[in-house]
A and B are shown apart, each in its own frame.
Chain A
């Protein structure tokens, strides 16, 4: 297990370097000058050139890249072009909202997905199985933003059970934070839950048809124990693998859900920064998201290694 952790951690640095290089290169591919975008349509060429110089945009690409890496290693990702505030502070201020949303969505996806998947797998071919199959088809078909709006209209506007303005920092009020996360987490997590449910159902059916289940049954082990202790553990190996991919998709989808629920997250900031060519924010934001994806996949891989010894480096 130690070898697996070491092996995966060794891959993190090159992955981050590759991502940052790609993002840095992309800033040169975007047409137009950030200075022109900042100053507006009426700026004259002299003023644009002056601002480009102020922002260091007239320096050679390699010099800018080296300077950026040098500062990034100290946690300094520069200053936002549009707000003139430190990028690190801006992103850290918004990261909790995005992280809360992704974790909330993941909780919904895992609990609902595994629960429904186990139910369908144990009763394969029955009414519960067919109902879950239909429900997951619906769950996969519904776009997150549409579901978010419907949930808002029903539970926030019509019933008044939860607020439309969802986000409260956990440090301000943990109860309000949890309440505010319910609808956004459902909107983000239901599609992912459908994916996990289908994966779990298939894995459970396969596990329950394995010879070891017959042996355990013959030995007098209860059905509940067979399902929950043995079959589910085996079924979790492929489910865990698909969950890793699901989380990556959810991080992207969270940007849309943030907008629907007015979450002050990284997604909203990134969208505005891309449009405004605020490259320091885009570069640092992509790196932060890459870190999140890498950490999640690292945890998934470690879990995979725990459940499946064959997956560990020999």
Chain B
């Protein structure tokens, strides 16, 4: 009925206007036929970085078009060379040997001075990536191809950080004059072309003639900033976009379109944490924490969300910190009740903060903990308040993303006595001993095993549980692009291995 009324009144006017529009000239060049023929790939990752300056928050899918990092992570989590070809790390310093013959897109040579400028820029930036580099006391340029980062304390995770989107290498000239915030100038395979871009809508990057690495498949990468999932799916279905992140709930738009292919890989993770572990705290007793963990049935959340899977621990198999001895806390209400009895059936009443994107998961966990006699009430807050307060210590427990790439960072961020994410300031002797041993091992061969011991202690003490892993979904037009595969950079959502992409040789 409604459709009939709409047809009879509004649609004719719209059709007339649209018909006129259809006759009003040629397309703006966004049709995918031209895209494939010209070697252009149109990609969308949901929103341009507010700043392209090193240290600013950038989605990896945008950042890794013009920029490269000093090192990268390989499939097994090992450090691999990119702009740095060799490195030597001690407790006091990290010395990097830089690749020769590399230039930035503005012609500036990539050398020790450039690395120094970038490290200092990131350190001084107003963003989340300045903190990990505060450990660098000074940057010493030994010669054009050698640079030493002098460290305030042993930092086994520094090379890993230098592989992330937090540490892109930008032209020191562009950093100095401030233009890098809007016009990225890196060493990557594609250079920003402002003249071919449309402000706020599309950024064009063309193959850099003097790129040091292997030839790339596409001459041009056009980046878009469509934030709405439905609109992004529509753009992919219409052929205006060839590649981008997607969501399971919009997949119906691709029905009947055989040229649209998808892949998913684990990316964002979250878990429950117990903050109030100090003397007299709600979760001081390890048995109470374990009871809460046994009460949780992660599969319910996985079934509810559709794009999340449960995990036994924070790190995935193959990553440093993974321990195959960790079984997690499979749901067991009887065990949960038994542990509560063992703890003397204390009255557990706690609030937990939630926001729009995790409220369902938190409510499920709260209800399940109720099965073990715990009174957990969920407080909803808008995102700004949630981000400010969920781990501030105001709430005895919380659920959030832990995006640390290494067990060292994870421990230092959440579980060490002086960790920002440990408002109770409590750390068991066993955990401290295990962590000290792992830190002392530095980058030696024993370090991985020692860090696996640390994560085992964290699991045994039920400091964190209810681990969930979000699946990142990538969709692409197979008529335009082939070779789409997840990047080896773990936990960087919205990213593919750009240099493996090749034109399919056909339009859609």
Contact A31 B388 (CB under 8 A): yes
Scan residues 185-201 of chain B and give those whose CB is less than 8 A from a CB of chain A: 198-201
Check B224 for interface membership: any CB of A closer than 8 A.
yes
Residue in A38, A80, A190, A264 whose CB lies within 8 Å of B201 = A264
Contact A85 B181 (CB under 8 A): yes
Contact A94 B228 (CB under 8 A): no
Contact B24 A264 (CB under 8 A): no
Residue in B25, B53, B182, B385 whose CB lies within 8 Å of A32 = B385
Q: A32-B389, A42-B421 are in contact. Are A161 and B22 (CB under 8 A)?
A: yes
Distance (Å) between the CB of B496 and the closest chain A CB? 20
Contact A139 B10 (CB under 8 A): yes
Hey, what's the 0/1 contact readout for A134-167 against B, CB within 8 Å counting as 1? 1101110100000001011101110111111101
Check A10 for interface membership: any CB of B closer than 8 A.
no
Q: Is the interface of A mostly helix, strand, loop or mixed?
A: helix
* Residue of A139, A157, A168 contacting most chain B CB atoms (<10 Å): A157
Which interface class (under 10, 10 to 19, 20 to 34, 35 or more) fits A?
Answer: 35 or more
Residue in A97, A141, A176, A268 whose CB lies within 8 Å of B227 = A268
Check B420 for interface membership: any CB of A closer than 8 A.
yes
CA distance A285 to B221 in the complex (A): 32
Contact A264 B227 (CB under 8 A): no
CA distance A137 to B1 in the complex (A): 12
Check B343 for interface membership: any CB of A closer than 8 A.
no
Contact A116 B30 (CB under 8 A): no
Scan residues 241-274 of chain A and give those whose CB is less than 8 A from a CB of chain B: 259-262, 264, 268, 272, 274
Distance (Å) between the CB of B492 and the closest chain A CB? 16
Check A179 for interface membership: any CB of B closer than 8 A.
yes
Contact B240 A33 (CB under 8 A): no
Hey, what's the 0/1 contact readout for A164-183 against B, CB within 8 Å counting as 1? 11011100110110110010
Distance (Å) between the CB of A133 and the closest chain B CB? 10
Check B176 for interface membership: any CB of A closer than 8 A.
no
Check A234 for interface membership: any CB of B closer than 8 A.
no
Residues of A within 8 A of B17 (CB): 182, 186
Residues of A within 8 A of B2 (CB): 138, 141
Contact B224 A186 (CB under 8 A): no
Contact B420 A42 (CB under 8 A): yes
Residues of B within 8 A of A152 (CB): 230-231, 234
CA distance A137 to B392 in the complex (A): 48
Check A39 for interface membership: any CB of B closer than 8 A.
yes
Number of A-B contacts (CB under 8 A): 199
Hey, what's the 0/1 contact readout for A77-115 against B, CB within 8 Å counting as 1? 000111111000000011001000000000000001000
Check A231 for interface membership: any CB of B closer than 8 A.
no
Check B51 for interface membership: any CB of A closer than 8 A.
yes
Check B375 for interface membership: any CB of A closer than 8 A.
no
Contact A179 B200 (CB under 8 A): no
Check A240 for interface membership: any CB of B closer than 8 A.
no
Check B226 for interface membership: any CB of A closer than 8 A.
yes
Distance (Å) between the CB of B116 and the closest chain A CB? 20
Contact A168 B131 (CB under 8 A): no
Check B128 for interface membership: any CB of A closer than 8 A.
yes
Contact A165 B131 (CB under 8 A): no
A-B contact pairs, 9 of them (CB 8 A): A40-B128, A43-B131, A82-B51, A135-B8, A137-B5, A152-B234, A157-B237, A178-B24, A259-B231
A-B complex: 3 closest residue pairs judged by Cβ atoms: A32-B388, A264-B200, A135-B9
Given A84-B56, A275-B384, 13 extra CB contacts under 8 A: A40-B128, A41-B400, A44-B420, A83-B51, A93-B199, A135-B5, A135-B9, A141-B2, A156-B238, A165-B201, A165-B226, A272-B50, A277-B384
Interface residues of B (CB under 8 A from A): 2, 5-6, 8-10, 13-14, 17-19, 21-22, 24-25, 27-28, 30, 47, 50-51, 53, 56-57, 125-128, 130-131, 134, 181-182, 198-202, 224-228, 230-231, 234-235, 237-238, 240-241, 253, 382-385, 387-389, 391-392, 400, 404, 413, 420-421
Interface residues of A (CB under 8 A from B): 30-33, 36-45, 47, 51, 54-55, 80-85, 93-94, 97, 112, 116, 131-132, 134-135, 137-139, 141, 149, 151-153, 155-157, 159-165, 167-169, 172-173, 175-176, 178-179, 182, 186, 190, 259-262, 264, 268, 272, 274-277
